[in-house]
A and B are shown apart, each in its own frame.
Chain A
C-alpha cells in the first residue's frame, strides 16, 4: 500500500506539466548550473591535517541541449582546504598549508525529462577532464601540478517557476531564462595520476540553482 502511495506521488510530480496559456517560447537550448557544497576527499587522514573531513566546493556548468534529455557541456570547480603540515623531527604538526583544486571537465548529462515544465527532473552525468592542484606552504616554495580527472554524478532538479510567476516572467523577459531549478547533486570524482601514488579522488554533495535558456 505504502509503495503504491509513493509511486502515485512520484508519478504525479513527474507528470505534472504547467498548464497555462502562454506565449510560444523557443526551444530550450542552453543551461547553466551554479552549485556550492562539500567535497570529501578519499585520503584517509584528511581531517587530521585540515581539521575537517570536508572541504568547501563551488562548481559552474554550462551545457548545450542536443536533445531535451541529453546535454553536452563544460564545467569548472574550485575546492579549497586550509590546514597544517607534518614536522617529522618534532613529531608534530604545524605551519600552514593551503590546498586548492581546480577541476576542469567536458561533460555529458542525461536528464529524465518528459515534459517541458516538469516539476522534478532526475539526471545522471559523467565527464572527462583534468584537475590542477596548487599547494601553498608557509615559508616554502608552492607545489603545483596536474592530474587526470573524471566524475559521475546523479542529481535531482526541482522546478521553481510555479512559486513566483512574476519573477519567472521577468527572468524570461530580461534574461531569456525559461526554467529555474533548485538542484541537489551527488558527485563521485576520480583524480589520479597514472603510474604515481597521487590520488585526489573524492565525493561531493552540491546544492545550487540551474537555469535553462
Chain B
C-alpha cells in the first residue's frame, strides 16, 4: 500500500472564452480527426499478423491510449467549466494575485533520495511522480544511492531527472531479460524534459529505449557496458536527444535503432563527447553524420557513422571490468589517454580540471560526478603492541594507487588518500566524528600508531537459562557490554568436555545431545580490540571519493580476551510428551509391519532428500500423509484388507531392496494403489455398516 496523500485540491473552474475554445478545438481534433486515423493505422498494422513483434501495432496502440487519456482529461475539464468574460472585481483580483504567488512559490524542483525515507526503490518514486497532477513548472529529481538495482522502468511523466550519486558505483541492470522480448532497463516513451545521468548500465539486452520524444532528453555522464549481443541505446524513431559524455564499452551496438527504416536526423539530435571502445558497432549509420561529433573511438569492430571531429586512440581506462573483477568499473582516464581534451571545443570545459577543452567519456566535460573511485584492495599488515602503562597498537594499512590522471595536476599538486578509523564501527554519515589521519600524499600505505586500547576483559554472562526438548538444549543469556562474541561450554561430567565456536548472538542450540542425561552448561564472553577503517581518495583538484558503508573494513588488533565462565546450569534433554497422547497412524507402510526399520529409514531419507525438494514430490508426500491414517484405520478393521495390502507390500519388497537409490517407483506404485483404495472407501464403509 502506498503512502497516504491528501486528495489534490480541485483546480479552478474559471476559464476565458479563448481558453475554452482552445480546449474544445483540441478535443474535437483528437476525437474527430486524429483518433480515427490512428485506428485505421492500427487495423492495418494488425492485419500484418504477429502483434507481439509488430512495432507499428504496439506503438500505434500506445498512441491511441495517450489520445484517449487526453480526451478523457479534456472532457472532465470541460464539465461544469465557468467561462469568465467580464473583468473581475478588485477583491477578486487581489485573491487571484495571492493565489498566483502561492502557486509560483510551490512550483519548482523536488528531490527524492532513493533508497530514502519516502521511497525505497526507484520504481516507487517514479510511480508516485506519475500519480501527481501534471504542473508544467514542477520538476522531479530522483537521486540514487550507490548500489546494484535490477529494474525495468518506464519514465511516467515529463520533467524527471534520474541521477546516480556515483557513476562508477551506481549500477542499473534489467530485472527481466527474456529470450523472446527485449525489455529495456529504461523505456523513455512519449515524455519530454527527461535526464538520465550518472549511472553504469550493465549486462542486459537493452539499456535505454527512446521513442516519440518531442523535446529535451539528455543522456549524459553514463557508462554502458552491456556485454556481447546487447545494445546500449536504441531509437524507435527520430527524436531530439542529447547523448553527451557517455562511455560505451563492450556492447554489441552502442547506439542503434530497432526500426531499420527510420532515419535519425532530428535537428536537435546531438551525439557528442562520447567514448566508444570495444563495441561491435559504435553508432548505426541510420544516424545522420551531422548530428555526431567529437567521439573518441577505439577498437570497435565497426565505428558506423563517424560524424565530425572524432578521435581515434586508446582511452586507457583505469580499470575496465575484465581486468579488475566484478563490480569494479573505473572508467576514469589514465594520463596518456587519447580521450583527454578531445571533446567539444565550444563545450562548457572540464568541471574537474577546469580547463577549456572537454574530455570525452562519462567523467569528462561538465560532469556532475567528481568523485574519484574509492581506494581498492585496502589491506592491513601485522599489528604491533606496545605494553606500557596503557596498551597501544600500531598497524600498517596499504592500498592500490588510484591511477586516474586527475590525481596529478602539476609537479607540485598531487592527489592524496585520507584514512578514517575508529575502535568502534561507524558509518559514512558518522565519519566526521571519528578519528582521521592527516592526508597521505602519493604513497599507498601508512602506519597508524598509538591506537589506544579501549577494551578490558569482560565480566562473565549472567541470566543463563535453558529450554529443552528431544535431543536438544537451547541456551540463552544476557548480553555483555563490548563483547564481540560468546563461547558455550557443556558436557555430561563437566563443562570442559565441549566448546562451541565463537557465537555472535546471545543464544545457542546444543543439538544431538543424549536424552535423559544431565548436562553441565556454562557461557563465557569474549572481547577483542578491533580497528574499523576506510580509505578515501582525494584527487589533485580536492574532490574526495564517496565510500559506502560496505567499504569500511575491520582488523583485529588484539587476541581474544575471554571472561571467566558463568555459573553452571544443569539441563536434562528428554522426549516431549504431547497432550493429549494420541495413537500414531501416520505411516501406513510402517503399520503393515512388512518393511524393516532400515528399509523404512531409507524410504524416509528418500522422502526428505528427493521428494520434498520438488513440487510434485511434495504433493505426493502430502497426499500420502493425508490418506495414510484412513488406510491404517481400514486395515485395523479388516483382516482381509490387511492381508491384501501386506501381500502387495511383499511384492514391492525386492524393488525396495534392489533400488535403494530410487524409491520413486515404489512411491508411485503405492500412490496408484492408494488412489484406488480411496475410491473404494465409501463403498467399504457402507458395506461394513
> Shortest beta-carbon distance, B405 to chain A, in Å?
64
Q: Judge if A144 is at the interface, Cβ distance under 8 Å.
A: yes
Q: Which residues of B contact A140 (CB under 8 A)?
A: 469-470, 575-576
A89 touches B572 (CB 8 A): yes
Chain A residues touching B, range: 35 or more
Inter-chain residue pair count (beta carbon < 8 A) = 96
> Shortest beta-carbon distance, A54 to chain B, in Å?
16
Other than the given A85-B577, A132-B630, A143-B578, 7 more pairs (CB < 8 A) read A46-B579, A94-B467, A96-B469, A137-B576, A143-B584, A144-B586, A199-B580
Q: Which residues of A contact B572 (CB under 8 A)?
A: 89-90
Q: Which residues of B contact A97 (CB under 8 A)?
A: 576, 578-579
Q: Which residues of A contact B579 (CB under 8 A)?
A: 43, 45-46, 49, 83, 85-86, 97
> Shortest beta-carbon distance, A38 to chain B, in Å?
19
A90 touches B574 (CB 8 A): yes
- 7 A-B pairs with CB atoms under 8 Å apart are A43-B579, A86-B576, A87-B576, A94-B576, A97-B578, A135-B582, A137-B470
Q: Which residues of A contact B574 (CB under 8 A)?
A: 87-90
Given that A86-B579, A90-B574, A97-B576 are known contacts, is A146 also in contact with B469, CB under 8 Å in the complex?
no
| Contacting residue for B578 out of A88, A135, A198, CB 8 A | A135
- A43 and B516 alpha carbons, distance in the complex (Å): 29
Q: Judge if B59 is at the interface, Cβ distance under 8 Å.
A: no
Q: Which residue of A lies closest to B630 (CB)?
A: A146
> Shortest beta-carbon distance, B360 to chain A, in Å?
65
Q: Judge if B558 is at the interface, Cβ distance under 8 Å.
A: no
- A137 and B625 alpha carbons, distance in the complex (Å): 16
> Shortest beta-carbon distance, B689 to chain A, in Å?
10
Given that A43-B580, A143-B586 are known contacts, is A130 also in contact with B630, CB under 8 Å in the complex?
yes
| Contacting residue for A200 out of B580, B628, B630, CB 8 A | B580
B576 touches A139 (CB 8 A): yes
A:118-162 near B, CB below 8 Å? 130, 132-133, 135, 137-146
Type the 1/0 row for B456-482, where 1 means its CB is closer than 8 Å to any CB of A: 000000000001111110000000000
Q: Judge if A20 is at the interface, Cβ distance under 8 Å.
A: no
Q: Which residue of B lies closest to A88 (CB)?
A: B577
> Shortest beta-carbon distance, A87 to chain B, in Å?
6
Interface of B is mostly: loop
A139 touches B470 (CB 8 A): yes
Residues of chain B having any CB pair with chain A under 8 Å: 467-472, 516, 572, 574-580, 582-586, 625-626, 628-630, 632-633
Q: Which residues of B contact A88 (CB under 8 A)?
A: 574, 577
Given that A139-B471, A140-B470 are known contacts, is A95 also in contact with B582, CB under 8 Å in the complex?
no
Given that A130-B630, A132-B629 are known contacts, is A145 also in contact with B585, CB under 8 Å in the complex?
yes
Given that A94-B469, A144-B584, A146-B585 are known contacts, is A137 also in contact with B578, CB under 8 Å in the complex?
yes
> Shortest beta-carbon distance, B470 to chain A, in Å?
4
Q: Which residues of A contact B633 (CB under 8 A)?
A: 146
What are the 7 closest A-B residue pairs judged by CB atoms, nearest first? A144-B586, A85-B576, A146-B629, A95-B469, A139-B470, A95-B576, A86-B577
B583 touches A196 (CB 8 A): yes
Q: Which residues of A contact B575 (CB under 8 A)?
A: 140
Q: Which residues of A contact B632 (CB under 8 A)?
A: 145-146
